[in-house]
Amino acid sequence: MKEISLVLVSIATVIIPPLVMRHWGRKILREELPKKEKNYNLLKAEVVCIFGAFILYLPAMIALGALDWASDVVDKLPLPEIFRVFAFAAILIFPLLLSIFLIIYETVKVGINITEEKIENPKKEVLKVLALILGPTVGFAFIWLLLMIYLPESLTSKWWFDLLMYSTLILAFFALFPLILIRVGTKSELDPELKAELMRFCEEHGVKVRGIIVKGKPGQKLANAMVTGIIPRYRYVVLTRYLVDNFEEDEIKAVLAHEIGHIKGKHLWINAALSIGWFIFWIGLIYILHKFNVQLFSSPWVFFGVFFFAFYFWLFVIESRIAIRNEFKADEFAANVVGLEPTLMALKKLAELNLLPEKTGKWFNLLNRHPSIEKRIEHLKELEGRR
């Protein structure tokens, strides 16, 4: 009976949220609204449906004893311990991952009709994005578990050793992730003269980058930029094809100056420190609960309740707020370097090309880890007015 209930919950999770997304997306597509509003409403629907998939799946699986059932199944498999751990995780979360994939796929299908992008195979594109997100995460978890399982317990039982291992892996990830990123997805060449000018621009402001990479197919309508790599030798600035094709040179420099602002402000190192800080926060929370005689592993409800509270508190109250503050600082640097007008124009173009309203809700800003374009423009104008 338990197995049947687990199967029914899994099927419901895979089917219901994506179907809701499909119906909601088609409704948005029929609305008589500007493209910006449609696109923004579509993103809201996507977040609600993904959150709904979690709400539908996780409590039901815990209540039905899925953890014990999956553990019994995995214990019978003739696999090394490390692979049994991943088999356990795969059995539990596969229906949820499949549901999220289908939700994003339905979102992309509707989004293509709104943005008029040219994406030949939406499923393949969604899989690529999920692989880029999940691949490094799974790799990190695999190495971490491998060390925890096969190193002597005399070491792994000590919190300071676990913290040292975790910190080393986090720093390695932040240092080496650029080497993965630049090899995934479609790359295209930047105009040699423009590339040389942008590299000189970086040098003039005292930062070292290994290269400026342009990513994205010509038909993809995403204007974005990022800097990745805490080690200068393996640091890259990434610009999307859509941004390069639609921004003037001074606007591209404003975007590049923003990324330089992140480098000068040590924001990449701050992000790494925040990731390490999560581990310290979690260990500290376990210690405090132990002092109050709260047994974290007394039941799945206690463990997952505490874990998800701590995780979302750290992610949205601590990390997102610091990330938003860093975006303001990077904007300030860009405005000081290239001037206020090119920076404001670049911000407005980002909203225009990405079909997003300049004023977005707090939920969107926290998820996106960026302030709204409206707030960023207001912030820069206020600073200019004080001078």
Tokens matching residue 249: 């040179």
Q: How far is CA 187 from CA 33, 126, 198, 262, in A?
A: 34, 17, 18, 23
pLDDT greater than 90 at residue 182: no
Residues 335-374 pLDDT 10s: 999 999 999 999 999 999 999 999 999 999 988 999 999 9
**More confident call, 18 vs 134:** 18
Cα 277 to the chain's mean position, in Å?
18
| pLDDT-based confidence at residue 81 (cuts at 50, 70, 90) | confident
**Please, what is the average pLDDT of the chain?**
91
Determine contact, residues 367/47, Cβ cutoff 8 Å: yes
Percent of the chain with pLDDT over 90: 65
Mean pLDDT of 204-217: 91
For residue 317, count CB atoms less than 10 angstroms from its CB and return exposed for 0-12, middle for 13-18, buried for 19 or more: exposed
Structure confidence at residue 292 (pLDDT): 86
Alpha-carbon distance of 186 to 180, in angstroms, equals 13
Nearest partner of 223 among 206, 202, 244, judged by Cα: 244
Mean pLDDT of 86-104: 93
| pLDDT-based confidence at residue 387 (cuts at 50, 70, 90) | low
The continuous run of DSSP H or E covering 187 comes out as strand 187-188
Q: What is the pTM of this model?
A: 0.91
Torsion angle of the four alpha carbons 182, 183, 186, 192, in this order, in degrees rounded to the nearest 10: 50
Which residue ranges make up each domain of the chain?
Answer: 2-176
Structure confidence at residue 284 (pLDDT): 92
CA dihedral for 122, 128, 130, 133, sign (positive or negative): negative
| pLDDT-based confidence at residue 294 (cuts at 50, 70, 90) | confident
Structure confidence at residue 136 (pLDDT): 84
Structure confidence at residue 339 (pLDDT): 94
Residues 240-261 pLDDT 10s: 999 999 999 999 999 999 999 9
